[in-house]
Structure 1
């Protein structure tokens, strides 16, 4: 009886003792989203330079995230699928699909299955974010987990943000001489899903390194952070866009040039990758 007794005593004294029903990792998530100026894009009067030589100043910005999914990857013979590193034959993975070299859009799950012979991705837990996030006054918000924050044995490799709404208002001007547009123009960006159902306007994916196993301390503080920059507006040719009667460029306008610019902004938004910082500690 001495050996079993010593074993139980060791569990009681150990810093990583596991209780019945406890998950392999218990995640404590926070979420932060911000629009931030970049020093190498700084212009006068709070404007940010774009790659097109236009300049934008953002006066208000908010985002609503429906949920954030923590995704685990399982690998087959071909290894795990990582959207940040498209497999051979694909050029870009974002928004839940990959661009194949022949132009086809292939869902993540199909790409993962092709790679791994049965390997794939699945959502381990979802994080409801709730109220919209003010991107100009960012807060670090603690969020809950569904169904629970205790994770099974797995490797969380990605965080997938479903953007339900992005609303930005500001001013644009031209940095060239002579200018392509006169003076300053107000603009309004209101990205919401255009189709039926609950599909988000964009899905943003970022890498997460969160092993849930018996080799790491169970407590896992997970800080998720998304930073948008003026680079969002790089694809826009502002000289082609229609203004409403009040002189505001509205990207939801049905004018073909405005609709084309809106599509380009949705695609650019999907290329922003949230970051994740994991801090492990004993419970």
Structure 2
């Protein structure tokens, strides 16, 4: 209640003196995850065209996330300040800076180069209690652990820990001479081993959220993860066998090579983050 009163006073009066221990930014996070069709890949009957000329339709998709870590560079870490990048860098935004050779370099790497150490840490974790239906996505308000009042830092990354993923659908060949007959059902499921606490996949997305006295304290943070049919572009469906139930099971046991390829491609997907400061 006291934090809410202080925040309201800051917004109403246009500023306030933060007390020791008070957050430099008070974040209001939401999380959304979805499987979405792409307009440039539309095919009849709800299918999506793959680059291999196969066509895929998603019939069920769900994800369970253990939590999302907000990774920040501590104030003064290595002397790095995104608002005043070091020589050789320019245009710092969305968790990275443009280097003179055109490369995009994460804040953490620049801070490490300047200070000889990483200087980054998890300032808050956003637990996501319930599984998310990717075919009926919803924006969920989530809490923060230990607190949504952040210390002085620059949040530059959101790290999603995926505990489980289930994708089920059908695939067919779009060529005039099909490589597989009719439609095939497929299933790809990722789950943690019973004796493991490690996520099955970690997805990293850029965040641009300064937590300091130069920006409005209230920060709405909308985190959004989108999967598309592009994930399945490399799969040669003609090389995969159906199980006795007529389903192509993609797993580390049944089809380890395809499973490994899909897992690697999943890890390259970057969740998006939109930050809105003040009353907007």
Aligned to 1:219: 218
Runs of 4 or more consecutive aligned structure 1 residues displaced over 4 Å after TM superposition: 77-80, 82-87, 109-116
2:149 paired with 1:147: no
Instruction: Give 1:118 deviation, angstroms.
Output: 1.2
2:46 paired with 1:49: no
Aligned to 2:191: 192
Measured against aligned partners, the alpha-carbon deviations of 1:43-92 in whole angstroms (never above 9, x if no partner) come to 01000011111110001100001110000135537979x987899xxx99
CA contact (8 A) 1:34 1:137 kept: yes
Measured against aligned partners, the alpha-carbon deviations of 1:6-26 in whole angstroms (never above 9, x if no partner) come to xxxxx9983222453421000
Quick one: distance in 1 between partners of 2:197 and 2:18? 39
Quick one: distance in 1 between partners of 2:214 and 2:97? 27
Aligned to 2:4: none
Measured against aligned partners, the alpha-carbon deviations of 1:83-123 in whole angstroms (never above 9, x if no partner) come to 87899xxx999xxxxxxxxxxxxxxx999756751134211
Aligned to 1:136: 135
What secondary structure sits across from 1:264 in the alignment? helix
Question: CA 1:281–1:110 in 2, change beyond 3 Å: closer, same or farther?
Answer: closer
Quick one: distance in 2 between partners of 1:269 and 1:12? 40
Aligned to 2:83: none
Aligned to 2:61: 61
Unaligned runs of 5+ in 1: 1-10, 94-108
The two structures have a TM-score, normalised by structure 2, of 0.81
Which range moved further: 67-76 or 132-141?
67-76
CA contact (8 A) 2:61 2:134 kept: yes
Task: Describe how 1:52-201 pairs up with structure 2 within 5 A.
Answer: 52-74=52-74, 75-76=77-78, 113=112, 116-194=115-193, 196-201=195-200
Quick one: distance in 2 between partners of 1:179 and 1:275? 37
Measured against aligned partners, the alpha-carbon deviations of 1:213-241 in whole angstroms (never above 9, x if no partner) come to 00111111100001110011112111111
Instruction: Give 1:201 deviation, angstroms.
Output: 1.0
2:233 paired with 1:234: yes
CA RMSD, Structure 1 to Structure 2 (Å) = 3.2
Aligned to 1:96: none
Aligned to 1:98: none
Unaligned runs of 5+ in 2: 1-9, 81-85
CA contact (8 A) 1:159 1:208 kept: yes
Quick one: distance in 1 between partners of 2:96 and 2:51? 24
Quick one: distance in 2 between partners of 1:246 and 1:187? 11
CA contact (8 A) 1:30 1:223 kept: yes
Instruction: Give 1:270 deviation, angstroms.
Output: 0.8
CA contact (8 A) 1:218 1:282 kept: no
What secondary structure sits across from 1:76 in the alignment? helix
CA contact (8 A) 2:252 2:260 kept: no
Quick one: distance in 2 between partners of 1:12 and 1:65? 33
Aligned length: 256
CA contact (8 A) 2:78 2:111 kept: no
CA contact (8 A) 1:232 1:269 kept: yes
Quick one: distance in 2 between partners of 1:16 and 1:260? 57
Question: CA 1:246–1:234 in 2, change beyond 3 Å: closer, same or farther?
Answer: same
